[in-house]
Amino acid sequence: MNVNQQPHMASPYGQPQSGYQGYQQTGYGNQHVPGGYPTPYAPYNGPASTYQPGPPTIFIPSAPPTVSQASASAAYTPSAPSSFAPSSAVHSQPLPPDSVAQTAPQPFYGAPPTPPQPFPGAAPPFSAAGPAQPPAPPLGSQQSFSQAHPPSQPQFTSAPPPVSTASYGGPPPTTQASHPRAPPLTSQPSTFSGGPPPTSSPSQYPQPMPQQPPVSQPNPFHSGPPQPTTAAGFPPQGGPPLRVPHPGVQGPPMTSQGPPTSQTNHVAPPQPGMLPGPPPVNMAGPPAQPSMQGYPPQQNGAFGQVRGPQPGYVGQYPGQQSYVAQPPAQAPAPAPKRLDPDSIPSPIQVIEDDKLNKGNEPFVTGVRGQVPPLVTTKFQVKDQGNASPRFIRCTAYNMPCTSDMAKQSQVPLAAVIKPLATLPLDENGPYIVDHGESGPIRCNRCKAYMCPYMQFIEGGRRFQCGFCSCVTEVPPHYFQHLDHTGKRVDCYDRPELSMGSYEFLATVDYCKNNKIPQPPAFIFLIDVSYNAVKNGMVAIVCQELKTLLDYLPRENPNVASNIRVGFVTYNKVLHFYNVKASLAQPQMMVVSDVADMFVPLLDGFLVNVAESRVVIESLLDQIPDMFADTRETETVFGPVIQAGLEALKAADCAGKLFVFHSSLPIAEAPGKLKNREDKKLVGTDKEKSLFQAQVSFYSNLAKECVAQGCCVDLFLFPNQYVDVATLGVVPTSTGGSIYKYTYFQGQADQERFLNDLRKDVQKQMGFDAVMRVRTSTGIRPTDFFGSFYMSNTTDVELAGLDCDKTVTVEFKHDDKLSEETGALMQCAVLYTSCSGQRRLRVHNMAVNCCTQLADLYRNCETDTIINYFAKYAYRGVLNNPTKNVRDSLINQCAQILACYRKNCASPSSAGQLILPECMKLLPVYLNCVLKSDILHPGADISLDDRAYLRQLVSAMDVAESHAFFYPRLLPVHKLNVEGNALPVAVRDSEERLSKGGVYLLETGLNLFLWVGANAQQELLQNIFGAPAFSQIDPNMTSLPILDNPYSKRLREIIESFRAQRSRYMKLMVVKQEDKLELIFKHFLVEDKNNSGGASYVDFLCHMHKEIRQLLS
Ligand SMILES: [Zn+2]
């Protein structure tokens, strides 16, 4: 229906795209799709006022670090001769009689179609042109502040300043001391008052830390003179050991233990009944925290201050029996102070606070400049004029008005845009607007698309562009009267006038060569060299495709997919297959002249799956047999992509290549590569060359691919160095993905590979896309990060764009912005849908602008800033030594925090580290980026893995980068099987692990289940069906399906984690003190790591020093 003819009909837009709905449900192959929201939203009951801390973490004495490196399997070197010549004729195997019947026709690969959602004609009133909104509502726990006060500076209360702690006597060598469990911080502004800054230990960072337990190091923060002790702190140690009942836990005896140090900065006197033992661990739920009564107000947000133990708060944890703390009296006068990890900003608490404050009510996008909930919070979005945070997240929702302010603050101004993001089932996808042959209405000058920021004037006959202020005539067919407020009366009937995100059907003017596009094609190119056959990949791919081809993307579930498919196999020559429906058997055509690739057949190469099913199945049955005895070890790679590209060119369509590849392409051919793996370059000025492509061939090829709309997905199965940095050039330039299965073993790894493949084939995507971001006068996009190609400075060209890919855009001022109008951006993506329809998806976003720096700092989003910084740094390593990249990151963050301190924080002692509320996690997360394998590699990470991760992060969304840099660590022994709630996560530090516990760690790419050596027998029985720790098989990759609620719930959680990520996370079981534990510990990112990465505590000290230097 054409809306222009029936403007007043109730639902003129037709329906939201079914294609972008319905992916949340389990599809073929148990494909959960990102964004599943298993539980309905609870009714909003007002903001939660008190932070309920999670169960206390439990300390275990850590074993001495395992010395042996987790050994990766030795590189496999095939010794087979390469004398096998491929047959140039297809083996004429009889068609299996049942081959057709084997494939059950599947009507739809995903979910049933989402019921049509008419555009609500009576949307809640929303004025797009309303006054600038107040800054984002403060968190529930924040006070409100006048402009004069920095947002995060609550009233200083009368609590004493932090007091020094006595020095440690040094823990016994094998035991890491733990810290008294102070309550988590409240979300108050964060001042760290650790006394004078470190003067004597500036060299601690970034040099590798001594191999001592961190606690025994005098902390630079505490190097100042101790401050007067005003509180008694915990009772002195040395009382009779108290055994705390710990049902079922076979751990060491838990002794009564005060805090290891005389933490005298606790204001609250010891409470009667405050037992320093651990709370009883109850498997069925988090331990009760008797008398927990919230937190004392934090003094001026100072870390390390007034962290009084809670009444009844149980302060100490089991397993420290070997630690002897020094009584306070023994402290030498200038005691080196230990910075208590509990006194510095906790990611877990920030995450939990946000859930409480923002997770209970829908996020309504009508208010300009509102900071959305964190990516770790489950929330519902209602589009009322700005794009959902699922499509766009900004580093700052209140941009400085001038470039001077922006430079002063050094806060990056960027948006992380995920244009085709999958939405949860309870949110509507963008509506489709069809303006018929006239196409979308646009500003005459800047060509921005009609959106809520266009102001209609002169009775509705013209509109003024919100981006460039140009006035454009309203075409007669689009005319509508205005109401008394100046709004068009059909405003709420038209998505493009009232919503943040929508799509226009594009006219032929928006098509390449002014021609309606053909439906896209998928081409599968399978390496059949010795390695690929031997490790099982070829057989697995062929077997899987027989079913998977029935699940190609489609928009209308009732109609077969329009996508055509083609097949190529290769080693150092290429084999094309004719699978035309009329053939009795597939035909193979060999192209051995790979220097000048061409497609030897046009008719019969790209076919419709339904029509050619019999021939395709026959082919897929035969391929593994044909090459079962191959001795060919050499492969080509460049010609493979060229072949796919040429096939798409010949068919005059866009499409995607799925390349399954195993080895470094050393065979004589264009794009041939050498093994240039040289770990000696790591850490040198030449390290950057390792991230660069070895030859320019692939970037030229990528350009051609982009021009054709040929997206390349690369599945790698390497046994040794394959030069991912070079092989990845085409995928990362064409909006494609790289998957890497090192030392692939059919049995053990096929689950992960097949899940990735299924998701990758089925996922919703656009083809031959181009994205343009327009902004209002005053700022402009200046830099872009992601998997795409740019031939000019404005157009982001994406041969393919799938629902998981993000493009990060950085903005710079080119003029002043105004507080009144704010800053506007419009992201328009022109693409071809999987059915061949040309469309324009438009996302609009308005943010506030400020003349006070405090407003900027109050409306930042640290997770997005980190996403931007990681991408910026990971691109930086292409051209700079990694050390320089790290230093510049540290410097920029120090400037950000110093600017806040100087301009926004209330005067306070120079020894205090004051962090803005919205950025109090910047140091911990930044440290994770700095310590990452790309910027600070350990000895055991391969160059290929670094190249792979670098490319992966460049297109990550904020939720994935968050888990990637700060993994989620869930104490599953505290799982409550009764409800849906997850136990509160714990911080990524070994100190937080209980020897009696079991923890699930999720990085977005990996899942680990860490089992403490003293885990309860019943727990092990429930999870593993194993009666004892020693009987758990560390090689299991999935949990046994046991008939008990605990097993069921844990497996559900694992599945739900997997469903939230774009890649399948393989589960590894890590037994405490097992050799694999070293890999697991790599992800405990608050600790210092083996390669010299600083601990959170040490890094915070270092940042403090940097900030002080900038301020002095
Ligand atoms: Zn304009």
Query: What is the CA(394)–ligand 1 centre distance, in A?
Result: 22
Residue-wise burial string across 128-158, b where 16 or more C-beta atoms lie within 10 A, e elsewhere = beeebbebbebbbbbeebeeebbbbbbeeee
| pLDDT greater than 90 at residue 337 | no
Stretch 640-664: mean pLDDT: 97
- Ligand 1 centroid to Cα of residue 6, in Å, is 27
Q: Would the pLDDT of 889 be above 90?
A: yes
- Which helix (H) or strand (E) segment holds residue 565: the answer is strand 564-570
- Note the pLDDT of residue 556: 82
- Calculate how far, in angstroms, residue 436's C-alpha sits from the geometric centre of ligand 1: 22
Report the separation in Å between the CA atom of 351 and the middle of ligand 1, taken as the mean of its atom positions: 39
- 302-321 per-position pLDDT tens digit: 333 333 333 333 333 332 22
Give residue 210's pLDDT. 38
Give distance in angstroms: CA of 777 to centre of ligand 1: 9
Instruction: Please tell me the distance between residue 467's alpha carbon and the centre of ligand 1 in angstroms.
Output: 5
Tens-digit pLDDT profile for residues 275-289:
333 333 333 333 333
Q: What is the predicted pLDDT for the residue at 522?
A: 98
Q: Is residue 54 very low, low, confident or very high in pLDDT (cuts 50, 70, 90)?
A: very low
Between CA 309 and CA 316 the distance in angstroms is 11
Phi, then psi, of 700 in degrees rounded to 5: -70, -40
| Residues of the chain above pLDDT 90, percent | 64
> Range with the lowest mean pLDDT among 254-258, 744-748, 1103-1107?
254-258
Q: Find which of 255-259, 859-863, 1030-1034 is predicted with most confidence, using mean pLDDT.
A: 859-863
Choose between 96 and 408: higher pLDDT: 408
More confident position, 395 or 83? 395
Q: What pLDDT score does 287 carry? A: 35
Q: How far are the Cα atoms of 706, 878, 1091 from residue 691, in angstroms, in the given order?
A: 22, 6, 20
This prediction has a pTM of 0.75
Cα of 463 vs centre of ligand 1, distance in Å, is 10
The answer, yes or no, to whether residue 554 has pLDDT greater than 60, is: yes
Question: d(Cα 997, Cα 1004) in Å, to the nearest integer?
Answer: 22
Kindly give the distance from the C-alpha atom of residue 465 to the centroid of ligand 1, in angstroms, as a whole number.
Answer: 5
How many other C-beta atoms can be found within 10 angstroms of the C-beta atom of residue 1004? 22
- 679-687 mean pLDDT: 90
> Are the CB atoms for 723 and 944 separated by under 8 Å?
yes
**Rounded mean pLDDT, 666-677:** 95
- Say how many Å lie between the CA of residue 449 and the centre of ligand 1: 8
Q: What is the mean pLDDT of residues 734-757?
A: 94
CA of 811 to the centre of ligand 1 (A): 18
Query: What distance in angstroms lies between residue 690's CA and the mean position of ligand 1's atoms?
Result: 44
How many residues are present in the chain?
Answer: 1112
Q: Note whether 338 and 178 are within 8 A (CB).
A: no
The answer to whether the CB of 312 falls within 8 A of the CB of 290 is: yes
Q: What is the mean pLDDT of residues 433-443?
A: 94
Ligand 1 mean position, distance from CA 448 (Å): 5
Query: What separation in Å is there between the alpha carbon of 857 and the centre of ligand 1?
Result: 30
pLDDT (mean) for 650-658: 96
- Residue 809 has a pLDDT of 98
If one compares 303 and 475, the residue with the highest pLDDT of the two is 475
Centre of ligand 1 to C-alpha 85, Å, is 62
Q: How confident is the model at residue 13 (pLDDT cuts 50, 70, 90)?
A: very low
**Residue 776 C-alpha to ligand 1 middle, in angstroms?**
8
Ligand 1 centre to CA of 469 (Å) is 6
CA of 485 to the centre of ligand 1 (A): 22
Mean pLDDT computed over 257-272? 34
Q: How far is the CA of 791 from the centre of ligand 1 (A)?
A: 23
Between CA 16 and CA 423 the distance in angstroms is 12
Whether residue 499 is predicted with pLDDT greater than 90 in this model: the reply is yes
Question: 456: CA distance to ligand 1 center in Å?
Answer: 13
Contacts of 304 (CB under 8 A, 6+ apart): 162, 192, 193, 194, 221, 265, 339, 340, 343, 344
Specify the range with the lowest mean pLDDT, choosing from 62-76, 358-372, 869-883, 1054-1068: 62-76
In angstroms, what is the span from residue 472 Cα to ligand 1's centroid?
9
Q: What's the pLDDT at 342? A: 87
CA distances from 447 to 436, 450, 773 (A): 18, 9, 11
> How large is the average pLDDT for residues 546-562?
90
**What string of H, E and C letters represents the secondary structure of 128-196?**
CCCCCCCCCCCCCCCCCCCCCCCCCCCCCCCCCCCCCECCCCCCCCCCCCCCCCCCCCCCCCEEEECCC
CA 385 to ligand 1 center in whole angstroms: 18
How would residue 182 be classed by pLDDT, with cut points 50, 70 and 90?
very low
Q: Greater confidence, 548 or 139?
A: 548
The pLDDT score that the predictor gives to residue 28 is 56
Confidence of residue 64 (pLDDT cuts 50, 70, 90): very low
Report which residue type is found at 412: P
CA–centroid distance, 815 to ligand 1, in Å, is 16
Q: Is the pLDDT of residue 801 over 60?
A: yes
Q: What is the mean pLDDT of the chain?
A: 77
**Predicted pLDDT of residue 137:** 35
Range 681-707 average pLDDT: 94
Is residue 153 pLDDT above 90, yes or no? no
Which has the minimum average pLDDT: 162-176, 400-414, 569-583, 1041-1055? 162-176
